[in-house]
Amino acid sequence: MGKNIVQKILDAHLVSGEPVPGQEVAIRIDQTLTQDATGTMTYLQFEAMGLDAVKAELAVSYVDHNTIQIGFENADDHRYLQTVAAKYGIIFSRAGNGICHQVHLERFGRPGKTLLGADSHTPTGGGVGMIAMGAGGLDVAVAMGGGPFYITYPKVCLIKLTGRLQPWVSAKDVILKMLEIFSTKGNVGWIFEYGGPGVATLSVPERATITNMGAEMGVTTSVFPSDAETRRFLAAQGREEQWIELLADPDATYDKIVEVDLSSLEPLTAAPHSPGNVMPVRQVAGMPVQQVEIGSCTNSSYVDMVRVARILKGRRAHPDVSFAVAPGSRQVLQMLARDGSLASLLDAGARIMESACGFCIGNSQSPPSGAVSLRTNNRNFEGRSGTKDAQVYLVSPETAAAAVITGKFTDPRDLGLAYPQVDMPERFFIDDSMFIFPGARSETGPSAGEAEIYRGPNIGEPPKNAPLPAEIKGQATIKVGDKITTDHIMPAGQLLKYRSNVPKYATYVFSPVDETFAARAAANRDAGIHNIIIAGESYGQGSSREHAALCPMYLGVKAVIAKSFERIHIANLINFGIVPLTFVNPADYDRIQTGDELVIPDIRAALGEKAPISVENRTQGVEIPVEANLSERQVKILLAGGLLNTVAGV
Ligand code: MIC
Ligand code: SF4
């Protein structure tokens, strides 16, 4: 029987397990990436494994999230990352080189390979025909050490693209349409494979915009075929020899097929406060806009930026709009500087930001109170921008540019301008001098092997956890609703600088939801009372940050009982020894209140024997059945108190 692209890549990388949807399989990982906000903890954990060098084919450490450097903390982290990279044979991408996903696509992404990244938008690599997945840092550390990555063998949905995009409609509108169809929940365990005649009309950077935001639907990843367009992109990046053709067999089968007609799409936006809150731009047209931010790993390719520059050429930013542009990589910025686009942007009044995450993660460019901010990034969770009551709308670069001119939400088709046709260049500007390749002596770092690891005062040891106790006995310390994101659990923004300092960062757990949580949880922990989190559907949406499990672990959280979990977060909970339990009857969620005394007797034995589990709510006097759908491997990790306790010396 013929295979689809997902099956071709996964089966070629299968280490163990049955390639049957729903079964846990182990996959060999060819490439890894980290970024600085998740990277310090990843490498501290890698060091704790006691290996001499990385074993993956290629490992890259990017610095793109924390480049603001107010205080010594970020700079200390960067230095730690640079020295640890030199020691273990990791390519180091210096601050200023660009956003990890954009740069990885440009310089390292290869069709047919697997990539595991300590960042949820790693699926960007699917644009070039690879299986690229986000994971917690500890899983990435294991993969760097040559260990496999465990996933549930996915169900595959073919997204059959037909037609072609109309002027002023772009890749962002395709993925917003997908979010309208699939929403942000209920897609765990799926991979989206794009196919159909419409694929050939999309360039690799456009495909990457689409696979990037697959993360917002909660799918394991998204992937495009590797075809003539992929070859053209790799050739333009000077890497044509890395191209292989990768197409689905003509008789390939899928678990589901959904057709999207590109010709019928219109400019869309995701309204506050969820990427799934999709509506046509025309529905909100006329709304005054106070801020426009163009960039992020979703929409900061050269073509995106040049199109914006052409739309704005000879025009000025509306006086009420604060307008910033963050080109996705140094390659993009270099090209904009050389072809005159940068001048057009500056003429228009753009504030040029560093090639980094910046505004997207809320560590700069927070909007004014209550402001409407149009952004080309991928997440608009409440407060993520750094301003709690800001109204953030996700849009395409074209829609963003239209608002820069008019000061209002404007469907770009209504600007009355000729559509600037911009094609992907035949040759990108290639200069790898901001990478430090292991083994190469540079002015700024020592050679591989001889490196001494630098640890500033911001770098702490990763905290340890004890094995799971025989019973969990404590309190429902917090009860939260549906679609709780990791930005609610462990906010980033200004707090990013505490990523390497878990005791400090942990004092902010759940702060956007309940400022008293961290202190209450720590007091319980110190009194020997276990903390339990009660949650609704889709718990742990959004980022891959393992701190959303690690910091609760540090505060003595032993279990989360939810209606459902998102993929990366549930893996992180297990990795840090927190038991994820789901309600057998979702309505039982109503039978637990914050502060209730809860006991889960014999949890160790129940997990080991796969016996039924019930939670005694001693305050309400009820017993609530819950379940743990875990593999034997996951149970072993939980019993040990976390993955690090089981993998030293992998
Ligand atoms: C994000 O977009 O939320 C981040 C910041 O890139 C995170 C990683 C992190 O929290 O460091 C992600 O997407 O995984
Ligand atoms: Fe950076 Fe934003 Fe992309 Fe996360 S989503 S990697 S913060 S640009």
User: In the prediction, which pLDDT does 647 show?
Assistant: 78
Q: Which of 380, 399, 414 is the last residue of a domain?
A: 414
pLDDT band at 650 (very low <50, low <70, confident <90, very high): very low
Which residues does ligand 1 sit against, CB inside 6 Å? Answer: 37-38, 65, 119-121, 134, 361, 492, 542-545
User: In the prediction, which pLDDT does 594 show?
Assistant: 98
- Residue 298 CA to ligand 1 center (angstroms) comes to 13
Ligand 2 atom having least distance to the Cα of 64 = 1
- Residue 122 CA to ligand 2 center (angstroms) comes to 10
Tokens 């509506």 -> residue:
279
Which residues does ligand 2 sit against, CB inside 6 Å? Answer: 65, 99, 119, 121, 296-297, 357, 360-361, 377-378
Residues 503-530 pLDDT 10s = 999 999 999 999 999 999 999 999 999 9
Question: Which residues are CB-neighbours of 378 under 8 A, at least 6 positions away?
Answer: 121, 212, 213, 215, 216, 275, 296, 297, 298, 360, 394
User: In the prediction, which pLDDT does 537 show?
Assistant: 97
Mean pLDDT over 380-385 rounds to 97
Residues 210 and 114 in one domain: yes
Of 441 and 98, more confident: 98
User: In the prediction, which pLDDT does 648 show?
Assistant: 59
CA angle 182, 184, 186 (to 5 degrees): 70
Residues 617 and 540 in one domain: yes
CA angle 464, 466, 469 (to 5 degrees): 155
Residues 408 and 333 in one domain: yes
User: In the prediction, which pLDDT does 575 show?
Assistant: 98
Residues 261-278 pLDDT 10s = 999 999 999 999 999 999
User: In the prediction, which pLDDT does 461 show?
Assistant: 84
Print the domain residue range for 529. 472-642
Residue 443: is its pLDDT beyond 70?
no
Q: Which of 367, 393, 414 is the last residue of a domain?
A: 414
CA distance 32 to 59: 5
Residues 18 and 136 in one domain: yes
Residues 295 and 193 in one domain: no
Residues 203-240 pLDDT 10s = 999 999 999 999 999 999 999 999 999 999 999 999 99
Biggest CA pair distance of the chain: 71
Task: Taking the CA atoms of 233, 95, 327 and 220 in sequence, report the sign of the dihedral they define.
Answer: positive
The CATH number assigned to the domain holding 571 equals 3.20.19.10
CA distance 614 to 491: 32
Q: Establish if 206 belongs to a structural domain.
A: yes
User: In the prediction, which pLDDT does 445 show?
Assistant: 44
The CATH number assigned to the domain holding 330 equals 3.30.499.10
pLDDT band at 11 (very low <50, low <70, confident <90, very high): very high
Tokens representing 52 are 């001499």
Hey, whose CA ends up nearest to atom 3 of ligand 2? 297
Residue 618: is its pLDDT beyond 80?
yes
Hey, whose CA ends up nearest to atom 7 of ligand 1? 543
Q: Establish if 105 belongs to a structural domain.
A: yes
- Residue 326 CA to ligand 2 center (angstroms) comes to 12
Determine contact, residues 306/422, Cβ cutoff 8 Å.
yes
Mean pLDDT over 237-260 rounds to 98
Task: Taking the CA atoms of 304, 309, 310 and 316 in sequence, report the sign of the dihedral they define.
Answer: positive
User: In the prediction, which pLDDT does 450 show?
Assistant: 58
Hey, whose CA ends up nearest to atom 10 of ligand 1? 545
Tokens representing 501 are 């300092």
Residue 534: φ, ψ to 5°: -110, 130
Ligand 2 atom having least distance to the Cα of 37 = 7
Q: Establish if 425 belongs to a structural domain.
A: no
Residues 274 and 341 in one domain: yes
Q: Give the number of other CB atoms < 10 A from CB of residue 519.
A: 11
Q: Establish if 580 belongs to a structural domain.
A: yes
Quote the mean pLDDT of the chain. 96
45 residue type, one letter: Q
- Residue 121 CA to ligand 2 center (angstroms) comes to 7
Q: Establish if 302 belongs to a structural domain.
A: yes
- Residue 455 CA to ligand 2 center (angstroms) comes to 26
Question: Would you call 516 exposed, middle or buried from its count of C-beta atoms within 10 A (0-12, 13-18, 19+)?
Answer: exposed
User: In the prediction, which pLDDT does 319 show?
Assistant: 98
Determine contact, residues 9/131, Cβ cutoff 8 Å.
yes
Residues 278 and 323 in one domain: yes
Residues 605 and 636 in one domain: yes
H or E segment to which residue 85 belongs: helix 73-88
Mean pLDDT over 292-315 rounds to 98
CA distance 134 to 181: 23
Q: Establish if 617 belongs to a structural domain.
A: yes
CA distance 410 to 372: 13
CA distance 558 to 641: 10
CA of 545, nearest ligand number: 1
Please give the tally of structural domains in the chain: 3
Q: Give the number of other CB atoms < 10 A from CB of residue 423.
A: 8
Residue 649: is its pLDDT beyond 70?
no
80 residue type, one letter: Y
- Residue 296 CA to ligand 2 center (angstroms) comes to 6
Task: Tell how strand 31-34 and strand 114-117 pair up.
Answer: parallel
Q: Establish if 368 belongs to a structural domain.
A: yes
pLDDT band at 462 (very low <50, low <70, confident <90, very high): confident
Mutate to test the pocket of ligand 1, among 63, 104, 121 (most ligand atoms within 8 A of CB): 121
Residues 226 and 119 in one domain: yes
- Residue 297 CA to ligand 2 center (angstroms) comes to 6
CA distance 579 to 446: 42
Tokens representing 636 are 């072993």
Mean pLDDT over 303-310 rounds to 98
Determine contact, residues 156/6, Cβ cutoff 8 Å.
yes
Residue 441: is its pLDDT beyond 50?
no
Q: At what angle do helices 330-339 and 341-348 cross, to 10 degrees?
A: 90
Residues 529 and 635 in one domain: yes
Residues 238 and 106 in one domain: yes
- Residue 544 CA to ligand 1 center (angstroms) comes to 6
Q: Of 188, 272, 222, 212, which is closest to residue 537 (Cα–Cα)?
A: 188
Ligand 2 atom having least distance to the Cα of 360 = 2
Residues 285 and 335 in one domain: yes
Residues 520-561 pLDDT 10s = 999 999 999 999 999 999 999 999 999 999 999 999 999 999
Mutate to test the pocket of ligand 1, among 119, 392, 489 (most ligand atoms within 8 A of CB): 119
Residues 108-153 pLDDT 10s = 999 999 999 999 999 999 999 999 999 999 999 999 999 999 999 9
Mutate to test the pocket of ligand 2, among 378, 490, 545 (most ligand atoms within 8 A of CB): 378
Residues 34-88 pLDDT 10s = 999 999 999 999 999 999 999 999 999 999 999 999 999 999 999 999 999 999 9
Q: Which of 264, 280, 314 is the last residue of a domain?
A: 264
Q: Give the number of other CB atoms < 10 A from CB of residue 611.
A: 10
Q: Establish if 441 belongs to a structural domain.
A: no
CA of 38, nearest ligand number: 1
Instruction: Give me the DSSP letters along 515-553.
Output: TTHHHHHHHHHHTTPEEEEEE-SSBTBS---THHHHHHH
- Residue 105 CA to ligand 1 center (angstroms) comes to 17
Q: Of 489, 504, 616, 469, which is closest to residue 541 (Cα–Cα)?
A: 489
CA distance 479 to 561: 10
Hey, whose CA ends up nearest to atom 1 of ligand 2? 357
Total count of residues recorded for the chain? 650
Percentage, residues of the chain above pLDDT 70: 98
Residue 446: is its pLDDT beyond 50?
no
Give the E-state strand segments of 403-471 in sequence order: 435-436
